[in-house]
Structure 1
């Protein structure tokens, strides 16, 4: 089962509150930072895939136009 970005966001929110409210909250900062990195990495992957899709779509449209013109 793959953990979703939404689940990671819920976890980081919960963890942020725990860090603020617990006297030993600073101990959890490395986990918070790791969750932040994971969320950012996944968002970056989604953005990259979106750009790839747009370029591929543009390329296939461009190829169709060349075939029609020939």
Structure 2
């Protein structure tokens, strides 16, 4: 279901930047606006705790993390 969105009180420099970005990408200012919103609001896929731990680099030794060193 499509919904309309009206954005008011945009400064002329922002409007011009939007038009320039749209021209660079070969699309309308409206399509550029939709893409900016989609990219800004898209959520990356969630990783499991196990995946986050597996992605941590294996650096240092256990002694490097010992906070009770003499």
Measured against the shorter chain, the TM-score band is under 0.3
TM-score, normalising length: structure 1: 0.28
